Amino acid sequence: MPEFDLVIIGGGSGGYACALRSAQLGKSVVLIEAEKVGGTCLHKGCIPTKALLHAAEIADGAREGARFGVKSTFDGIDMAGVNSYKDGVVSRLHKGLQGLVKSRAITYVEGHGKLISKNTVEVNGTSYTGANIVLATGSYAKTLPGLEIDGKQVITSDHGTKMDYVPKSVIVLGGGVIGCEFASVWKSFGAEVTIIEGLPHLIALEDESSSKQLERAFRKRGINFELGVFFKSLSKNADGVTVTLEDGKVFSAEILMVSVGRGPVSADLGYEAAGVAMDRGYVLVDEKCRTNVPGIWAVGDLIPTLQLAHVGFAEGMLVAEEIAGLNPRPINYDGIPRVTYSDPEVASVGLTTAEAKKRGFDVVELSYDLAGNGKAQILNTAGSIKLIAEKDGPILGIHMVGARVGELLAEAGLIFNWEARAIDVAPLIHAHPTLSEAMGEAHMALAGKPLHAHG
Ligand SMILES: Cc1cc2nc3c(=O)[nH]c(=O)nc-3n(C[C@H](O)[C@H](O)[C@H](O)COP(=O)(O)OP(=O)(O)OC[C@H]3O[C@@H](n4cnc5c(N)ncnc54)[C@H](O)[C@@H]3O)c2cc1C
């Protein structure tokens, strides 16, 4: 008889969500974590980076006070102060999470787990058997062949969240979400920033219109970028780093941050030996996060779905509920909200125009410029809300750019996931003056009755 209903390897967003929900459903759970419960998101991902971005926003506010008639000056960044604020946020959330795990009577084991059979995990010489094993070992920051991370001049986001100084200049290799967020922080902190991106656009997974608006905004902020060109080589000396690109251009800076994506943590953990099907290190699962081995499940960044904390939470809870016999609905990955928390923010849910067309939809589009929105004028932000809909049908995608648009995703998510049409949303009344009015206005315009828009 297995000792536990579930043995979970990895206490990040996916693993701990699965543990909490399973315990809530009356299951006996052991949660094995090599470092700190909360994983990447809490300790070196979402939370620290968003604290840095908030400090960056305050820095810009101090710089731009005069624009609003407020006498203020930007005297510089005190990284010790920034880190103390950031670490305070992380530490409070960590304590809260530890308390939550304890209160649900989850057996928490600190150590490095390894799958030694289809139903057994070994940690520090002790074996734990489970009727179900959940693999939730997450991901790590990748680099390129020949590009060695030294943690000082050549760093990843792991080091970027723990810097005790503001570099004078940074090259960010990779213009995805993480690269753009760090570029935004460092520019606000006073560094010279250059992003190198091999694809034709920054945040290339977003709708092209959002990428272009972010590029325009970054250019205006003085963030440099090179698009559609690949890294060739790196040299270092005491003063800094020099990067040569395949087109022959050369860039120098104090440090290089490598943000070329994250790979699954799955090597030497006994997954293959147990017969778990994998592809390039990712564990393969079906729509209920079941691997090909009965009783073994996998969630979070370890599987080839969107690498986001809330995706990990959703997958962890899905597995818990499936094991408990609740037969939950599979996740609709199109309906996952996505945010890049740079200045300006980029937020989206649903399909891009390119994807909607690829899937054969007869697409109609509407772009509502935030210039017509009172709150956007008050905040002095530019941007837009773009709607993509099926002709005479539901909204297929919502794509937003501008300050604080991430907060509008709650409503955008409901609209997309409830398959609302523009005429269903148009009569909903939004408070004035809020950014959310722009959501209402966009749907009113698409429904043929624009108020504060030409048309
Ligand atoms: C800089 C950065 C910013 C991010 N910002 C956001 C954001 O704003 N919003 C968002 O939604 N997502 C964000 N993410 C992504 C988010 O952090 C991940 O999607 C999420 O953490 C994935 O959760 P996970 O449980 O799959 O893996 P992880 O959080 O990586 O957790 C895996 C855990 O497993 C442990 N582990 C690994 N191997 C073993 C082993 N053998 N035994 C025991 N324990 C083990 C690790 O120590 C780790 O704690 C960001 C990521 C980064 C790097």
Positions of CATH 3.30.390.30 in the chain:
344-446
Q: Over 70: is that where the pLDDT of 454 sits?
A: no
The per-residue b/e assignment along 141-162, b for 16 or more CB within 10 angstroms, e otherwise, is bbbeeebebeeebbbbbebbbb
**How is domain 344-446 classified at the CATH fold level?**
Enolase-like; domain 1 (3.30.390)
Supply the mean pLDDT for the chain: 97
Residue nearest to ligand 1 atom 45, measured at CA: 10
CATH 3.50.50.60 location in the chain: 3-140+263-333, 154-260
pLDDT in tens, 184-197: 999 999 999 999 99
In percent, the amount of the chain with pLDDT more than 70 equals 99
Amino acid at 21: R
Q: Is residue 406 a contact partner of residue 412, using CB atoms and an 8 Å limit?
A: no
The yes-or-no answer on residue 454 being catalytic is: no
Residue 1 has a pLDDT of: 64
> What six digits make up the tokens of 258?
């490598």
State the closest ligand 1 atom to the C-alpha of 262, by its place in the atom list counted from 1: 53
CATH class of 154-260: alpha beta
pTM beyond 0.85, yes or no: yes
* Torsion angle in degrees (nearest 10) through CA of 250, 253, 256, 260: -40
Q: What's the pLDDT score for residue 36?
A: 98
Beta bridge partners of 402: 345
Here the tokens at position 252 are 């120098």
Ligand 1 nearest atom to the CA of residue 308, by list position: 19
Q: Give the span between the Cα atoms of 127 and 105, in whole angstroms.
A: 19
The predicted model gives 157-170 an average pLDDT of: 98
Output the pLDDT for position 265.
98
Confidence of residue 236 (pLDDT cuts 50, 70, 90): very high
CA–centroid distance, residue 15 to ligand 1 (Å): 10
Strand pairing of 395-402 and 345-350? antiparallel
Cβ–ligand 1 contact at 39 (below 6 Å): yes
Cβ neighbours of 309 (radius 10 Å): 21
Confidence check: pLDDT of 450 > 90:
no
| Class of the CATH domain delimited by 3-140+263-333 | alpha beta
At 451 the pLDDT is 86
> Quick one: three-class SS letters along 98-133?
HHHHHHCCCEEEECCEEEEECCEEEECCEEEEEEEE
